[in-house]
Amino acid sequence: MAVASRFMCTTLTHHGFSSTTHRTHLGHAQLTVSSRKHQIIHCSVSASDATKTPSVMETIIPWGCDIDSVENASALQKWLSESGLPPQKMGIQKVDVGERGLVALKNIRKGEKLLFVPPSLVITADSEWSVPEAGEVLKRNSVPDWPLIATYLISEASRMKSSRWSNYISALPRQPYSLLYWSQAELDRYLEASQIRERAIERINNVIGTYNDLRLRIFSKYPDLFPEEVFNIDSFIWSFGILFSRLVRLPSMDGKVALVPWADMLNHSCDVWSLPKKIHNKFFPRKFNLFSLV
């Protein structure tokens, strides 16, 4: 069961898309439970009778890592550097917000570029598949970017070390902080007085509906490319949990949605303070709502 802090802060963001080939709509929803120490949530997804699925925790996702694993993050940093990531003033360390994250290793001036990730290290709907035939099938069926990237992430994760992205996937949390892992009872209990509750339930049902649509239209017809032991509701809950917490839209790449390894290790904190500003021989701290630079 999820344990909620009395000082819970919830955030729900929404960037919807619709498919031109079938009536499946999926929004961008992320529920963040903010406290000094996050709780690992072990629960199941509940849906209407039409979309009811087994508990998402019945199958353990075989890839990813514990959310505070600095070792996997360090391996990611090493691989990115070897793959063309330019030298930067940031590094991955343990932090109070999210257990690990990017921190400033050197002073960063106002207006200075915080970090830079080349396009070759970004995952989009156009990324090359380790199993090209699987990607071709999805594109022939006009699968939209969100579910396509979710399927791509599962496909590459299942390839383990043979995938180009193995170091990145190994550094992703095995269970993301996501409302997709909340049961109906937990949503009712912790979001009882919140306007987010109905939208949260809608997002969960949309993810389940999207998976069911892909399973019926594509996966069941190509079992060699999309075996059920890999492409199932458990892995889709995981992949959409990753997308909801990490996917961004990049104006520099014509507005494509993308996963950006390294940059997605930035954690946001409302408790970040800038250096004190001296006014009339007194120091007054100025508080900002920034990415945390420790």
- Res 105 pLDDT > 50: yes
Taking alpha carbons only, the member of 193, 233, 232 closest to residue 46 is 233
pLDDT tens, 53-88? 334 344 567 888 887 788 888 899 999 999 999 998
Strand ranges inside 47-100, DSSP E: 90-93
pLDDT at position 46 is: 35
pLDDT tens, 27-49? 333 332 223 233 333 333 333 33
Amino acid occupying residue 90 = M
Give the range among 80-84, 121-125, 243-247, 284-288 with minimum mean pLDDT: 284-288
Q: In angstroms, how far is CA 67 from the centroid of its own chain? A: 12
Strand ranges inside the chain, DSSP E: 17-18, 25-26, 90-93, 101-104, 248-250, 256-258, 268-269, 277-279, 282-284, 290-291
pLDDT at position 71 is: 85
Tokens 């458990």 — which residue? 234
Verdict on whether the full-model pTM lies above 0.85: no
Domains along the chain with CATH numbers: 17-291 (3.90.1410.10)
Supply 40's token pair: 């690992």
Residues facing 291 on adjacent strands: 268
- CB neighbours of residue 193 within 10 Å: 6
Q: Give the pLDDT mean for 265-290.
A: 47
